[in-house]
Amino acid sequence: MTRTVGMILCGGFGKRLRPITEKIPKPLIEIKKDYTILDKQLFDFKNAGVDQVLLLTGFLSDVIQERYGEEYGGVQIKYIEEDEPLGTLNAIKLGMDSLGDSEQCVIRNGDVVADLNIKKMIEQGRKSDYPLSIFITKMVSPYGIVEISGDRLVSFKEKPVLDYYINGGVYFSKGEIDFGEFDVGDIEKTVFPMLAKENKLGYYKEDGLFWMAIDTTKELEQIKKEYKNREDKPWGYEKVLILTEEYMTKELFLREGYRTSFHYHPQKDETMYILSGTGYIEFEDRKEYFGKNDSIRIKPNKKHSIVAMENTVLHEISTPHLDDTIRITDYYGRG
């Protein structure tokens, strides 16, 4: 059986994040207290069924190895260390050289935080006619834009989603990568254009999800703001939007094909408002299907699981019982 191994590029200097990265490698930057970029990536790999990850290290490799060792959060870890920095191409080539004949891989940039569905990307990549696939997502403008009509300015839009796709920094390879005559440099500027020209490069597309590359202090501030009240889950994330003495509002994101634990709330009375996506809530005696703009009430002590048939975003409006969940069946091992 073909096995999928993860690879994470961890060897960069993070020059634009100095002085933070003088003693801390960029993947070990905390996006919330005691939770690093690399923690998030390993967590996502584990919940996509990838249980072995190669960390492609260089600068401050010893700091990374000290934190993660040979196993972290249920993921087995191996280290491939570059003697000298020769670009992402050389690091990936070293990683590929260590794979077995029946192993495929998902390669990730070590500075990207994204909520993509890695499991679905692997499934699509295995069926693809292309040996290598790149995750792409629509670009969010870093600036507000203006619209004009004739000689006048008619409207402003604050950082809209543009009708262009970007390289999301996650790649799936079915087998060996054809590096051509390239030995060093960045794979994005050398091998990828070559493969695209030869019609050997496919893509995996997801729109409307959270994606950010942490490259500057401004982006670091933005990601910490995102994670201020957010907790990543095996199925996606939940984020507290409002918490008062009278009620609570949470945002939940569930990836397609995933589900929450089968659980109940002894005190919490909640109503789910579906903002996007489709799926169903499975109760002990029935399934209640939902789509965009639907609402479903769940009373206290009602055992249930939320199942996403598509990427789903919902708002949970409830009584203010923050830690009031009893899990009966957990569908994901928690390392």
CATH number at residue 153: 3.90.550.10
Query: Is residue 140 domain-shared with residue 242, that is, in the same domain?
Result: no
Q: What is the pTM of this model?
A: 0.89
Residue 334 lies in a domain: no
End-to-end Cα, the chain, rounded Å: 24
Question: What residues are annotated to the active site?
Answer: 159
CA distance 104 to 22: 34
CA distance 301 to 317: 16
Question: Of 226, 252, 273, which one is at a domain's C-terminal end?
Answer: 226
Query: Is residue 283 domain-shared with residue 216, that is, in the same domain?
Result: no
Q: How many domains does the chain have?
A: 2
Segment holding 120, helix H or strand E: helix 118-127
Question: Of 226, 256, 285, which one is at a domain's C-terminal end?
Answer: 226
Nearest to 36 by CA among 64, 74, 62, 71: 64
Query: Is residue 59 domain-shared with residue 14, that is, in the same domain?
Result: yes
Structure tokens at 322: 């923050």
Provide the residue-wise pLDDT of the chain in tens; the chain has 335 residues: 678 989 999 887 767 778 877 888 889 999 999 999 999 999 999 999 999 999 998 888 888 999 999 999 889 999 988 877 777 888 888 888 888 777 899 999 999 999 999 999 999 999 988 989 999 998 777 788 888 888 888 888 877 777 788 889 999 998 778 787 887 778 888 888 888 888 989 999 998 889 988 888 888 999 999 999 999 999 999 999 999 988 899 999 999 999 999 999 999 899 999 999 999 999 999 999 999 999 999 999 999 999 999 999 999 999 887 788 888 998 876 55
| Structural domain containing residue 243 | 230-329
Q: The CATH number of the domain where 319 resides is what?
A: 2.60.120.10
Query: Is residue 185 domain-shared with residue 36, that is, in the same domain?
Result: yes
Q: Is 146 exposed, middle or buried (0-12, 13-18, 19+ CB in 10 A)?
A: exposed
Query: Is residue 53 domain-shared with residue 128, that is, in the same domain?
Result: yes
Residue 335 lies in a domain: no
